[in-house]
Amino acid sequence: MPTTAIIGGGFSGALAAVNLARFAKTPQRVVVINSGRPFGRGTAYGTTRNEHLLNVAARNMSAFPDHPAHFFEWLRSRCDFDSLDDATLRETFIPRRIYGDYIRGLAAHYLGDADPRSNVTCEVIDDSAIDIEPRGAEQGGVVILENGEPVEADSVLLATGNQPPAGLPGANKLANDRRYCGNPWMGWHENLPGDDKHIVILGTGLTAVDVIVTLRRKGWCGKVTAISRNGMLPQRHFRGIEWPHAVPDDGQARSLKELVRLIQQDCQRLRGVSQNPAIAVDKLRGRTQQLWKALTIEERRLFLKKYAADWNVIRHRIAGPIHDAITDALDCGQLTVRPAMIQSLAAGEHGIEVHMVSGEGQEKTIEGDLVINCTGPKSRFSDSDLPLYRNLFERGLAQPDEMDMGIAVNDEFEVLDSTGQASSFLHAIGPILKGTLWESIAVPELRQQAYHVAQSILNQEPMEIPTKDTLEYCI
Ligand SMILES: Cc1cc2nc3c(=O)[nH]c(=O)nc-3n(C[C@H](O)[C@H](O)[C@H](O)COP(=O)(O)OP(=O)(O)OC[C@H]3O[C@@H](n4cnc5c(N)ncnc54)[C@H](O)[C@@H]3O)c2cc1C
């Protein structure tokens, strides 16, 4: 029986397995290798906290690109939402842990033993994959687990998600210090200082927001300082309007300069009719990957340097109730945001010292009774700390993409080896394609990848997904 090993069991890995089960016409074995978290939840949907909401409305969170209303219909099957009418439920930002239940439910349905018609048998192994050895003349590879066990497979899918956060200077000396949390997804709740104390959050993005809303939900009343280079907090979601695309869809490749001009003009037009300029970015969502791929490497680098921070704040918005909680924290003086470059961390007499430099070049040190690193995943791959990628690069089975933000793949999600040749057995999907596609981290893109990669692994002709109903669903 052909075997596919899927490394990573978050949304991407789970949905790839589910789609293999949906499309397989002959018996297949699927082995999911997933470490540290329950299968199907991953980092985002592994939270058990009810205040952590999706940052995409329910109408856009179907796991299936060929069935855009699937999540909404699943929610309708739960009594929790009986009080909401359909229109309201579609616009609701559901707790992420419930989304995790949805994915686990799909996995149980498609990959369990209940359906005698299923062609897939699935096994989940709780361990880390640290290496892949090619099988030589025989197609496929042998995935090596941390416990030393080999998993033989004809195809291997890399669905490992984001890398853990990068270490900050001085942080390695704080590894055993309870006042420092280097990975916000690991428990810091147990180490909360008293209400008269100070928590410093490194970062002001979505992860920092998760921490702030949890502190408030726990009724913690101390002070919080959040630091990031630009000092920008995520914006609030809003209901968009019918609006033409900033960039005409005429198949022409456009330079970064021209794209910036067109988008800025569009933002200006939107402001002129008292509309949120973020609509210009939202409307491009379905074509962002195509526009990114048409840029030169120099243009992509320039985009990252000059425009990405603004783009991210506009693009990655948060649910209304979450934005309200953050605004309250600011208004009542609990939360202060500082724009500054974090230089280093050190254990101080009372707390953890955070050394930083402000935009005006002034050096400053503040102390936190608890410091939480929310600076986001490490982006560079060439010096990845993950043994799996170090080994794949050393073997020449994979190479970092040209932006060094993930690994290089072709349009069929086949991994490119060190010579640029497409692998015969190794595929990759998920946030590790960010350098290749830019927009490759959220469900609207990942469900498409999971759908297409399953067909590619099964050597089936790609099935067209009707896009008519799905144009607005991304935002
Ligand atoms: C806090 C947060 C909130 C988010 N909210 C939303 C949202 O509301 N809507 C949305 O569309 N997107 C959201 N996202 C984006 C999110 O990244 C994607 O929706 C999706 O969850 C990514 O899934 P993934 O499977 O690719 O990666 P992950 O969820 O990171 O899963 C990867 C899994 O692989 C495992 N793994 C990694 N390496 C190995 C290895 N070597 N061996 C074995 N296992 C391994 C990891 O332990 C992990 O369980 C959010 C992201 C975060 C971090």
- Give 78 Cα–ligand 1 centroid separation in angstroms: 25
Q: Is the pLDDT of residue 327 over 50?
A: yes
Checking if the pLDDT of 333 tops 60, the result is yes
Nearest CA to ligand 1 atom 52: 44
CB 185 less than 6 A from any atom of ligand 1? no
Is the CB of 12 within 6 Å of ligand 1? yes
Q: Which atom of ligand 1 is nearest to the CA of 207?
A: 1
Buried b / exposed e along 167-205 (16+ C-beta atoms within 10 A): bbebbeebeeeebbbbebbeebeeebbeeebbbbbbbbb
Question: What is the Å distance from ligand 1's center to 271 Cα?
Answer: 35
Of 34, 43, 446, the one to substitute when testing ligand 1's pocket (max ligand atoms within 8 A of C-beta) is: 43
Query: Is 430 a pocket residue for ligand 1 (Cβ < 6 Å)?
Result: yes
Instruction: State if residue 237 touches ligand 1 by the CB under 6 angstroms criterion.
Output: no
What confidence score (pLDDT) does residue 34 get?
98
> How sure is the predictor about 272, in pLDDT bands with cuts at 50, 70 and 90?
very high
Own/partner contacts of 129-137, CB < 8 Å, gap of 24 or more, are 129/5, 129/7, 129/33, 129/388, 130/387, 130/388, 130/391, 131/387, 131/388, 131/391, 131/392, 131/395, 132/156, 132/388, 132/391, 132/392, 132/395, 132/397, 132/426, 133/395, 134/395, 134/397, 134/425
Q: For the segment 336-391, what is each residue's pLDDT rounded down to a tens digit?
A: 999 999 999 999 988 999 999 998 899 999 999 999 999 999 989 999 999 999 99
Can you tell me the mean pLDDT for 265-288? 92
Is residue 8 in contact with ligand 1, taking CB distance under 6 Å?
Answer: yes
Give distance in angstroms: CA of 18 to centre of ligand 1: 16
Q: Is the pLDDT of residue 116 over 90?
A: no
Query: Is the beta carbon of 168 within 6 A of some atom in ligand 1?
Result: no
Nearest Cα residue to atom 8 of ligand 1: 54
Ligand 1 neighbourhood includes 95 CB (under 6 angstroms): no
Distance (Å, rounded) from C-alpha 88 to C-alpha 71?
14
Q: Given this model, what pLDDT does residue 426 score?
A: 97
**Structural domains in the chain?**
3-164+379-470 (3.50.50.60), 171-235+317-373 (3.50.50.60), 256-315 (no CATH)
322 CB within 6 A, ligand 1: no
Write down the mean pLDDT value for the chain. Answer: 93
**Which atom of ligand 1 approaches the CA of 162 most closely?**
30
User: pLDDT band for position 245 (50/70/90)?
Assistant: confident
pLDDT at res. 467 = 60
| Residue that wins the pLDDT comparison between 465 and 30 | 30
- Say whether pLDDT at 185 is over 90: no
Please tell me if the CB atom of residue 43 comes closer than 6 angstroms to any atom of ligand 1: yes
Cα–Cα distance measured from residue 445 to residue 439, given in angstroms and rounded to the nearest whole number: 7
Cβ atoms 374, 203 nearer than 8 A: yes
Per-residue pLDDT tens for 207-242?
999 999 999 999 999 999 999 999 999 999 988 888
What does the pLDDT read at residue 191?
82
- Whether residue 214 has its Cβ less than 6 Å from ligand 1: no
Instruction: State percent of the chain over pLDDT 70.
Output: 98
Q: What would the mean pLDDT of 17-39 be, rounded to a whole number?
A: 96
Distance 461 CA to ligand 1 centre (A): 28
CA–centroid distance, 469 to ligand 1, in Å, is 26
- 472 CA distance to ligand 1 centroid (A)? 23
Digit-coded pLDDT (tens) for 142-172: 999 999 999 999 999 999 999 988 889 999 9
**361-376 residue pLDDT tens:** 999 999 999 999 999 9
Reply yes or no on whether the pLDDT at 113 is more than 90: no
Average confidence (pLDDT) over 117-143: 93
> In the 3-class helix/strand/coil scheme, how is 304-339 assigned residue by residue?
HHHCHHHHHHHHCCECHHHHHHHHHHHHCCCEEEEE
What pLDDT score does 425 carry? 96
Q: Residue 8: phi, psi to the nearest 5? A: 110, 125
Q: Six-digit token pair at 320?
A: 């209304």
Indicate whether residue 443 lines ligand 1 (CB < 6 A). Answer: yes
* Residues 363, 342: Cα–Cα separation, whole Å: 10
Give the pLDDT score at 286.
84
